[in-house]
Structure 1
Amino acid sequence: MLSVTTASPSGAVAAAVPFATLTVDHDAIAHNVGVLRAVAGVPVLAVVKADGFGLGMATVARTALRAGASALGVATVDEALQLRSAGISARLLAWLADPLTDLASAIRLGVELGVPSERMLDAVAAHARATGVTARVHLEVDTGLSRGGAEPADWASLCGAAAELERFGTVRVVGVWSHLARANEPHPSATAVAIDAFREAVEVAVVAGLTPDVLHLASSGAALAHPATRFSLVRCGQALFGVQPVDGRVYDLRPVVRLTSRIVQLRRVPPGTPVSYGGEYRTPAETVLALVPLGYADGIPRAAGDRAEVSILGRRCRVVGRVSMDQLIVDASPVGAEVREGEEVVVLGDPEAGEPVLAEWGQWAGTIPQEVMTGFGGRIHRVHRGAARVA
């Protein structure tokens, strides 16, 4: 955590004040879970992978569960084991593993595992036999993303092999699932082909003798915009954190994060002054430059230089010049004589107050909000607040 220690007039050393603070609003997380449950009308699996999108996996998971999420989802087995170590016993799916992964602890602790191939199924079965515990699995079929999951030509064989292992009590197929390639697009045609492919895959699984508890296809965007994708469970990540997941549509989702820093140095420079590395940006007029101690090592996208904006004293101010590893420079001229060193700089905040939000940072950096959110570094101090927070 990057911070500074100050001295009082008497010479005593005061407490260190972080250079940057990321505040996580657990009441907003709880609200968003409620919105997803109400719109989808089926149980919600809260996706808390990547350390809860960078906000603290176990803390976010507890809030989501308390707010009504029925299950949790992570990418890796290590993430699942971290949640179990934190005392979280809720239904939990980990979908990214391979035959080289040590699965024994996960199976023993009731972690449900995504299985995209017979090779992976064989590995799960071997670990289940070794532990003496029936492995709970979700068979994954590819419905057009061409990323994970069994190809349609291999699906019937995978289902048959799983059904055979079920007869011996080695595995239990508790879920069939897939992932959508175009859930962010609002038109029904964006998901129609995948829905048909998924339904066909479910029929094949049933014919093979499988009786999964849950069928899940929808991510955040589909859960909100594509009713036919909801089946018996929806997996929601970005919407949980207040990111609008459907192009051109706004849902009643609340921003979860607020990122603030402060001005550590001010200077007034004449027209034509080069700013930051390379000197590519030159001030068009006399300009007040504010130095902010955040950079790309903290997750501020370097590509957002000369485009991004922050809020100072309630006014938008532009980031100018290249973003450095630890610092960025802001044209504070809109606040001019009012601004002082130590003034708060809002990097992410309340859209109703005109402050920047994740979606804007994604646009400025030429990426998506989730990439920005998961990139915030360890030097940024985290604060969790809200009545919904579970200790």
Structure 2
Amino acid sequence: MNTPEYPFNNSYIEVDREVLRNNARYLQANLNEGVRTMAVVKADAYGHGAAEVCRTVGRFYDRFAVANVTEAVELRKSGVTHPILVFGVPTSRMAKAYKEFDLTAVISANDHFELLEPGTTCHVEIDTGMGRLGMSVNRLEELRDKVDAFSGGEKKLHIEGIMTHFATADEKDTRYIEHQKEQIGRLRSVFNNVLPVHAANSAASLAHPDTHFDMVRHGIALYGYDPSPDPGTGLHPAMKWKSSVAQCKKIRKGESISYGATWQAPEDGYYAVVPAGYADGYRRNLSGMMPVLIEGNWYRQVGRVTMDYVMIWLGKDAHEPGTEVLLMGGERNHAGLWAEAMDTIPYEICCGIHPKVPRKMV
């Protein structure tokens, strides 16, 4: 019997430090020489625990990136000293925070030049085809003049780079990324290659080395999931979600389990009740789809996932209350396989585990 380290929690997340480091090493080895690196730790490092991820892989990365100022300030208060790029749209309310906490802003609209306080470090975002944030690639000369105007004088900003984002780097069809690369070539020409450019996300970093430019941004790949069109084998999931048997119960052939009575026991046997459900992030539409690992054996999750519990068919086996259950993270049930079963992406699975589920590096 294994006793979880979190005695008052029904389930918990373990993140393997060495797996993270090995993923970082693999990603670094696949970079062009001289390319700088940024680790994307937004959304609490995709659910892995941002502060601890930063401490774990900091020596591999030149800077970190987050979604908003709140995330960045939390990292600063936790002791993170690397440069931090904030992807989100700056507002007047948060303008002072960039300088106060030594954060790098992203200018994605013309009014941001005036909004930011003089001396603020920033990158300029250009929309080359993502269709989300960023200034139009069709107004590059005007933008260059704006950058020049704010690179000196009383309103001087510390503009240190240009960024854009690929929309289809994880697709086999490369036509659209080729279109975006053409647009990036135009912007580099207009800016005379003076400002460093970064565009490559995890997929582009792995599958399109000609997009590395001056810096790459590693997100989902750092956590062990290869989003490139032809995934390799050099990355491994760092996250494991564990719980324990709450009760082990007998069941007779033909008796049902959970809401809707959608599953009936094929024979007399046992089932385990495990305290994790859709309130914790175990998706209800995964009902009956993913196995769990208990004492070296794989068992089916059966019946509908409920708010606080899942049920596991054990057959003739019986396991004591308190026995560890691997809900997610093994070779047959990691977040990538959950995503395939749900027709989604591992980002959503990892980010979707509720913050109340404690995380710990091991």
TM-score normalised by structure 1 residue count: 0.85
| 1:97 shift after superposition | 1.9
* Preserved CA contact (<8 Å) 2:108 2:134: yes
| 1:233 shift after superposition | 0.4
* Preserved CA contact (<8 Å) 1:318 1:330: yes
Instruction: Tell me the equivalent position of 2:53.
Output: 60
Per-residue Cα deviation, 1:95-130 (whole angstroms, up to 9, x for no partner): 102334412121243311111110222212xx33xx
Any residues of structure 2 matched to 1:31-42 within 5 Å, and which? 31-41=22-32, 42=35
Instruction: Tell me the equivalent position of 1:12.
Output: none
Deviates more, 1:281-290 or 1:172-181: 281-290
Structure 2: unaligned runs, 5 residues or longer: none
Any residues of structure 2 matched to 1:252-267 within 5 Å, and which? 252-267=234-249
| 1:284 shift after superposition | 4.0
Per-residue Cα deviation, 1:223-251 (whole angstroms, up to 9, x for no partner): 11111111010001111111122244223
Cα distance in 2, alignment partners of residues 251 and 185 from structure 1: 18
Per-residue Cα deviation, 1:33-76 (whole angstroms, up to 9, x for no partner): 1111110132210111111222221111122212x211111110
Per-residue Cα deviation, 1:278-313 (whole angstroms, up to 9, x for no partner): 223333444532111001111111111121221123
Partner of 1:337, secondary structure, is coil
Determine if the alignment matches structure 1 residue 115 to structure 2 residue 107. Answer: yes
* Preserved CA contact (<8 Å) 2:247 2:321: yes
Any residues of structure 2 matched to 1:20-31 within 5 Å, and which? 20-31=11-22
Equivalent of 2:317 in 317, 320, 337: 337
Equivalent of 2:133 in 137, 141, 148: 148
Cα distance in 2, alignment partners of residues 190 and 330 from structure 1: 45
Partner letter of residue 85 of structure 1?
K
| 1:29 shift after superposition | 1.2
- Distance change >3 Å, CA 21–CA 229, structure 1 → 2: same
* Preserved CA contact (<8 Å) 1:141 1:198: no
Instruction: Tell me the equivalent position of 2:349.
Output: 372
Determine if the alignment matches structure 1 residue 360 to structure 2 residue 337. Answer: yes
Partner of 1:167, secondary structure, is coil
Cα distance in 1, alignment partners of residues 44 and 357 from structure 2: 15
Cα distance in 2, alignment partners of residues 175 and 344 from structure 1: 48
Instruction: Tell me the equivalent position of 1:204.
Output: 190
* Preserved CA contact (<8 Å) 1:186 1:226: no
Cα distance in 1, alignment partners of residues 292 and 141 from structure 2: 53
Partner of 1:246, secondary structure, is coil
Per-residue Cα deviation, 1:332-378 (whole angstroms, up to 9, x for no partner): 22xx2353333221112342xxx421101112233211111112223
| 1:188 shift after superposition | 4.3
Aligned residues: percent identity? Answer: 28
Instruction: Tell me the equivalent position of 1:281.
Output: 263
Cα distance in 2, alignment partners of residues 72 and 284 from structure 1: 52
Cα distance in 2, alignment partners of residues 118 and 27 from structure 1: 43
RMSD: 2.3
Instruction: Tell me the equivalent position of 1:177.
Output: 163
Cα distance in 2, alignment partners of residues 252 and 196 from structure 1: 30
Partner of 1:103, secondary structure, is helix
Structure 1: unaligned runs, 5 residues or longer: 6-14, 129-133, 386-391
Partner letter of residue 190 of structure 2?
V
Determine if the alignment matches structure 1 residue 221 to structure 2 residue 213. Answer: no
Partner of 2:355, secondary structure, is coil
Cα distance in 2, alignment partners of residues 307 and 47 from structure 1: 31
Instruction: Tell me the equivalent position of 2:276.
Output: 294
Cα distance in 2, alignment partners of residues 193 and 101 from structure 1: 37
* Preserved CA contact (<8 Å) 1:303 1:366: no
* Preserved CA contact (<8 Å) 2:246 2:321: yes
Partner letter of residue 149 of structure 1?
G
Deviates more, 1:22-31 or 1:246-255: 246-255
Partner letter of residue 349 of structure 1?
G
Per-residue Cα deviation, 1:126-145 (whole angstroms, up to 9, x for no partner): x33xxxxx122111111221
* Preserved CA contact (<8 Å) 2:246 2:274: yes
- Distance change >3 Å, CA 140–CA 323, structure 1 → 2: same
Determine if the alignment matches structure 1 residue 93 to structure 2 residue 85. Answer: yes
Cα distance in 1, alignment partners of residues 178 and 305 from structure 2: 42
- Distance change >3 Å, CA 187–CA 40, structure 1 → 2: farther
Deviates more, 1:216-225 or 1:26-35: 26-35
- Distance change >3 Å, CA 225–CA 248, structure 1 → 2: closer
- Distance change >3 Å, CA 223–CA 120, structure 1 → 2: same
Instruction: Tell me the equivalent position of 2:143.
Output: 158
Equivalent of 1:235 in 217, 220, 224: 217
Cα distance in 1, alignment partners of residues 229 and 261 from structure 2: 36
Partner of 1:266, secondary structure, is strand
